[in-house]
Structure 1
Amino acid sequence: MQANFFVRKRRNSLMYYALLILITVVAITITEYNVVKGFTSIPKAAEWAFQNFYPNAKALNKLPAIAESLVETVLVSIAATTVASVFALLFAILGSNTTGVGGVASWISRSIATLFRNIDVAAWSMILLFSFGQNVMTGYFALFFGSFGFMTRAFIESIDEVSSSSVEALRATGAPYFSIIFQSVIPSSMPQLLSWILFMVETNIRQATLIGILTGTGIGFLFSLYYKSLNYSSASLVVIVIVVAIMLIEVVSNYVRRVIL
């Protein structure tokens, strides 16, 4: 019986890999992608980067402007994440199997979260450009909507995983609904919720760079401006600043996680 299970599992794995290879070959054929040329061009691309894509003394003069745009990008990302987390928590409480009121309200909450989660922030940026134009508000709302959808789903899973036993115990004692929420659900789920919020802040700072290119704001706009004007030295400095900032934020985020978890 066990031998048949492993044989069946191995056969399914082989079928999966065969299907994956077939899809890859079909995609390469349709797009006319030259695999050999693609791999052989990597050394030339690396050589060009070493020769052109590095900061020089002239680029360092633009560091104050780059730092100012970085601060704007970070603040917008944090603001969008924190505000979205508040709305996500409300929708998660309504949509959770543990705390939800059930019926239409839970279905609406989960459906809205699914809709917002499955639309990428880049798509939100392009949609919102028609309403707000190229400004900070476009980037803010794009990050807000994307964060709201993702965190609502994550919060629902966290609440269902952590709070089910304590909620059942309080219900058995006849505790009112809001007492269960504020005395059991939120306190017991808070470490996981904060962890998801910190993860979303890190993610949004990365995504804000791409959004800035689309909306003409923040550090993404500076990178696009320098790169399109062939100022590769300044563009490389922007990349370095972004990488350093993300690494520092990740260090702080990991420290906070160790404290709260």
Structure 2
Amino acid sequence: MQADIFAKKKRNTLAYLCLLGAVTMLAMVITEYNAVKGIASIPKAVQWGMANFYPTAESLEKLPVILEKMQETLLVSIAATTAAAVFALLFAIFGSNTTRINRFFGAVTRGIATVFRNIDVAAWALILLFSFGQSSLTGYFALFFGSFGFLTRAFTETIDEVSGGSVEALKATGAGYFSIIFQSVIPSSIPQIISWILFMIETNIRSATLIGLLTGSGIGFTFNLYYKSLAYDTASLVVIVIIAAILLIEFASNYVRKVIL
């Protein structure tokens, strides 16, 4: 019996790999992609990057402007995430199987969160461009909506996993709904909630760079401006600043996670 199950899994895996290979080959034919030519161009690309993509003394003079734009991106990312976290927590409480008011209301809140979560941040930015144009506000709302959907799902699962036993115990003692929320749900879930918020801030800082290209704001727009003007030395400095900021934020968030978890 086990031999038959193993053989079946092996056949399924082989069939999946063959299907994946066929789809890959079909995509290469349709897009006229030459894999050999692509691999052969890597050394030239590396050589060009080493020759052009590095900061110079002249580009370092623009560092204050770059840091100012990086600061703008960081603040927008943090503000969008924290604001979205507040609304996400409310929706998570109403949508959680542990704390929902009723099945219908829980299904509605979960459905709203699912819609927001399944629309990519870049798609939100394109949608909002029609209303707000190219501005930091467009980037803020794009990050806000994307964060809201993701955090609602994360917070809902956290509440279901962490607070189930304590909620049942308080219900057995006759505690009211709001007493359960503020005395059990939030205190027991807050470490994981903070961890998810920190993760979302890291993700949004990365996404904000791409969003800036679309909304004409922040560090993403600054990179695009220098790159299109062929100022590769300054564009490389922008990339270095972005990488340094991401690593710094990740280090800080990892430290906070170690403290609270």
Matched, 1:210 2:213: no
- Equivalents in 2 of 1:85, 1:115: separation in Å? 17
Tell me what 1:177 maps to: 177
When normalised by structure 2's length, the TM-score is 0.98
Tell me what 1:199 maps to: 199
Tell me what 1:88 maps to: 88
Q: How far is 1:199 from its partner?
A: 0.3
- Equivalents in 2 of 1:43, 1:166: separation in Å? 60
Tell me what 1:69 maps to: 69
- Equivalents in 1 of 2:233, 2:147: separation in Å? 33
**Matching of residues 1-261 of structure 1 within 5 Å:** 1-261=1-261
- Equivalents in 2 of 1:237, 1:66: separation in Å? 8
- Structure 2 unaligned residues grouped into runs of 5+: none
- Equivalents in 1 of 2:3, 2:138: separation in Å? 57
For these two proteins, the number of residue pairs brought into alignment is: 261
Q: How far is 1:10 from its partner?
A: 1.8
Of residues 161-170 and 147-156 in structure 1, the stretch that sits farther from structure 2 once superposed is 161-170
- Equivalents in 1 of 2:148, 2:200: separation in Å? 10
Q: How far is 1:103 from its partner?
A: 2.5
Letter in 1 for 2:99: T
Q: How far is 1:205 from its partner?
A: 0.4
Identical aligned pairs, as a percentage?
70
SS at match of 1:12: helix
- Equivalents in 2 of 1:31, 1:122: separation in Å? 24
Q: How far is 1:5 from its partner?
A: 2.2
- Equivalents in 2 of 1:217, 1:235: separation in Å? 15
Deviation by residue 1:149-193 (Cα, 9 ceiling, x = unmatched): 011011111111111111111111111111111111111111111
- Equivalents in 2 of 1:37, 1:102: separation in Å? 60
- Equivalents in 1 of 2:182, 2:19: separation in Å? 50
- Equivalents in 2 of 1:93, 1:161: separation in Å? 13
- Equivalents in 1 of 2:101, 2:114: separation in Å? 18
SS at match of 1:22: helix
Of residues 227-236 and 12-21 in structure 1, the stretch that sits farther from structure 2 once superposed is 12-21
Letter in 1 for 2:165: S
Deviation by residue 1:90-123 (Cα, 9 ceiling, x = unmatched): 0011111111122221111111111111111111
Q: How far is 1:4 from its partner?
A: 2.2
Letter in 1 for 2:86: V
- Equivalents in 1 of 2:66, 2:150: separation in Å? 30
- Equivalents in 2 of 1:9, 1:171: separation in Å? 46
When normalised by structure 1's length, the TM-score is 0.98
- Equivalents in 2 of 1:90, 1:10: separation in Å? 46
Q: How far is 1:33 from its partner?
A: 1.0
Of residues 103-112 and 52-61 in structure 1, the stretch that sits farther from structure 2 once superposed is 103-112
- Equivalents in 1 of 2:15, 2:114: separation in Å? 31
- Equivalents in 2 of 1:19, 1:198: separation in Å? 39
Letter in 2 for 1:214: L
